[in-house]
Structure 1
Amino acid sequence: MTLYSPLLLAVGLLITAALAWAAVVSARRRTATLAAAGVAVPGGRRAYLGAGLTIAGVAVLAVATAGPAAMVPVPRTAGTVILAIDVSNSMNANDVAPTRLAGAQRAARAFVAAQPDSVDIGVVAFERGALTTARPDADHSVALKAIDRLKVAGGTSLGAAITASLTAITGKQVAVGRDGDVPDIGYWPSATIVIFSDGQNQGGDLERAATVAQKANVHIHTVGVGTAAGATVRVDGYHLQTSLDEDTLTLIARTTGGAYHPASDTARLDGIADTIDLRLTVSDEPLPLAGALIGLALALLTAGAALTVLRSGRVI
């Protein structure tokens, strides 16, 4: 238990001690006076129960005024979330109305709106490369503005999306080399990456990037934006057929301990925020006890006063 003001507790306990001393002195004088007058003195502990309850009430009130609080473990959603959003040319396909990118933006905005202030949210836009457009921040309006600015351009590199997201999480450049080694970026159990993509990967070492995230205990949830039937997009004068690659997105999620979430139409995209479970952390938070103690003190004072009145009436 913690106290907001230990000084008030000390003062309150001194007052309580003074009242107890005064009650004892008063009881002794009363006993002596009654004995001198030849009046029988009521015996037993019940004779002093009213005064005892009153003094106990004052003592409890003294503790309450000191602002006591108990530290209790409270689970809550907290940590860092990076929204990695695919802005490659294939995201201009209209098999998700009006386009895959517009649908992903809408789902990402809904996701941000559903998160508490305890979650820092950042945004990474990726195609063949990746760029952190909003660093993780508790001010979610920054992430929303970054999402609104996204435009379609280039190819797709899911590996670059993961490494850029890890860079945003750690605050240090994360690079996956070609020598076979997996860099150690530390342990980040409160961080999560959510990738919105059609899964059309065209470059980058995806498998090694996912392994880096797995080693750092960063879970990756993937949201598949598009349909298996796909659609045709126009790129540099050419018409290209593009479809959702669920296998790649599922592999990323499973490798890192996350989950794959299909979102092939507008309705499913709108509800994607409810299907992604972020990790709970447990933190000790103060639970004020003053209210309960004041209630107990009032009960003791009332009982003490009532018993004192009843006892005084019988004596008279």
Structure 2
Amino acid sequence: MFRFLHWYWLLLIPVIIYIFFKTQGQGQLKFSSLQLFEDTGIKKTYKHKIGKYLILIGLILLVVALARPQSGERLKNIKKEGLDIVLTLDVSESMRSVDFDPNRLEVAKKVANNFITKRPTDRLGLVIFSGTAYTRIPLTLDHNILERSLEKITTSDVNQEGTAIGMGISIAVNRLKKSDAESKVIILLTDGENNAGQINPTTAAGLAQEMDIKVYTIGVGSNETILPVEVMGQTRYRKYEGGLDEELLTDIAQQTGGKYFRAKDKDALQEIFNKINKLEKTEFKDNNYFQYHELAYGFIKAALLFILVGIFLDRYLFLKIP
């Protein structure tokens, strides 16, 4: 099945075509005769129009992309095995520590992305937190959107300093409270101790316990936090000892029936996600629905190519003779 999600943008196409042909020939230098050009061996040519037509095609393709073309397939009564999982990621400044290469946050994003690709039948969501927390992506089976959002995360995405572990858990619990899945899981990854937010982590863990939500906690980072700092145009490094509250993370996991893990390097973090990936799965059944795939990106790439080639031909290659 094919559709345009925002079909009304297509109404611009005839307008663009009308304006294009309306403006052809305007603003050109007029000659009473082309005999002088013909006498010099220069023949009249229409090659100069190729560039303009390529630009026109590019603009039409951009409009098509705005209309959100999508292809879909009908999925009917398919039984799936899966969990509802919310990845809860610490994006505080300490996640910029370079004890992981290139830093803790980038490694966490990469490993989490690998985890997502191994859970194709699960609904996954994404919560990020620093001094406060918010839902980045609600529970979804569209893992492409989740992966693209995860890739763009930076430590500046939450404009409040600190580490609000309790807030991160409570927002994730809120995402899962209406879930009808038999198994609900929060994977909390942090490198700090709770020092911000309006909700105590123990209280948040209690809410998760009441709703039968397991919380798997991951303490990430070595025993030393190493943060890059710009000083007089040069990069210097400041080192800090400790900062990870392993006791709190252990208590949260035990209270909710989960487990606490410690990752001191990239390989350890990958192994932790591999272990979580082996969680027992539960079966649920979907009703009929269409699964759509975005096609706009291909149209955008083609449009840019047509426009760039068209501009080159129109401005630099062909001699225009009216």
TM-score over 0.5 for the pair: yes
Q: Does 1:163 align with 2:170?
A: yes
Structure 1 Cα separation of the partners of residues 229 and 134 of structure 2: 22
2:248 counterpart residue number: 248
Structure 2 Cα separation of the partners of residues 192 and 170 of structure 1: 11
Higher helix share: 1
Task: Give the C-alpha shift of residue 131 in structure 1.
Answer: 1.3
How many corresponding residue pairs? 195
Task: Give the C-alpha shift of residue 210 in structure 1.
Answer: 0.6
C-alpha contact 1:122 1:136 (8 A) present in aligned 2 = yes
1:168-218: CA deviations, max 9, x gaps? 2236xxxxxxxxxxxxxx986421100111132212311101100011110
Task: Give the C-alpha shift of residue 233 in structure 1.
Answer: 2.6
Cα 1:127–1:284 change in 2 (3 A) is closer
Structure 2 Cα separation of the partners of residues 121 and 187 of structure 1: 14
Q: TM-score, normalised by structure 1?
A: 0.56
Task: Give the C-alpha shift of residue 130 in structure 1.
Answer: 0.7
SS at the partner of 1:202? coil
Equivalent AA in structure 1 for residue 274 of structure 2: D
1:131 counterpart residue number: 134
Equivalent AA in structure 1 for residue 149 of structure 2: A
Structure 2 Cα separation of the partners of residues 197 and 143 of structure 1: 19
Task: Give the C-alpha shift of residue 267 in structure 1.
Answer: 1.2
2:98 counterpart residue number: 94
Task: Give the C-alpha shift of residue 246 in structure 1.
Answer: 2.2
SS at the partner of 2:273? helix
Equivalent AA in structure 2 for residue 261 of structure 1: F
1:268 counterpart residue number: 268
Task: Give the C-alpha shift of residue 232 in structure 1.
Answer: 3.3
Task: Give the C-alpha shift of residue 135 in structure 1.
Answer: 0.9
Structure 2 Cα separation of the partners of residues 88 and 210 of structure 1: 21
**Unpaired segments ≥5 residues, structure 1:** 1-73, 172-185, 286-316
SS at the partner of 1:123? strand
Equivalent AA in structure 2 for residue 132 of structure 1: T
Cα 1:275–1:167 change in 2 (3 A) is same
Q: Does 1:147 align with 2:141?
A: no
1:136-160: CA deviations, max 9, x gaps? 1011112111211111142111001
Q: Find runs of 4+ consecutive structure 1 residues off by over 6 angstroms.
A: 235-238
Task: Give the C-alpha shift of residue 126 in structure 1.
Answer: 0.5
2:60 counterpart residue number: none
Structure 2 Cα separation of the partners of residues 213 and 188 of structure 1: 14
Equivalent AA in structure 2 for residue 112 of structure 1: I
Structure 1 Cα separation of the partners of residues 250 and 106 of structure 2: 22
Structure 1 Cα separation of the partners of residues 180 and 247 of structure 2: 27
Match of 1:225 among 216, 220, 233: 220
| C-alpha RMSD over aligned residues | 2.7
C-alpha contact 1:211 1:256 (8 A) present in aligned 2 = yes
1:6-27: CA deviations, max 9, x gaps? xxxxxxxxxxxxxxxxxxxxxx
Equivalent AA in structure 2 for residue 270 of structure 1: Q
C-alpha contact 1:89 1:235 (8 A) present in aligned 2 = no
Equivalence map 1:107-122=2 (5 Å): 107-117=111-121, 119-122=122-125
C-alpha contact 1:84 1:124 (8 A) present in aligned 2 = yes
Match of 1:202 among 172, 183, 195: 195
Cα 1:164–1:235 change in 2 (3 A) is farther
Equivalent AA in structure 1 for residue 268 of structure 2: R
SS at the partner of 2:88? strand
Structure 2 Cα separation of the partners of residues 157 and 235 of structure 1: 24
Cα 1:78–1:188 change in 2 (3 A) is closer
Structure 1 Cα separation of the partners of residues 134 and 224 of structure 2: 27
Structure 2 Cα separation of the partners of residues 242 and 149 of structure 1: 29
Structure 2 Cα separation of the partners of residues 235 and 251 of structure 1: 34
Task: Give the C-alpha shift of residue 253 in structure 1.
Answer: 0.9
Structure 2 Cα separation of the partners of residues 213 and 235 of structure 1: 38
1:278-311: CA deviations, max 9, x gaps? 34224589xxxxxxxxxxxxxxxxxxxxxxxxxx
Structure 2 Cα separation of the partners of residues 242 and 187 of structure 1: 43
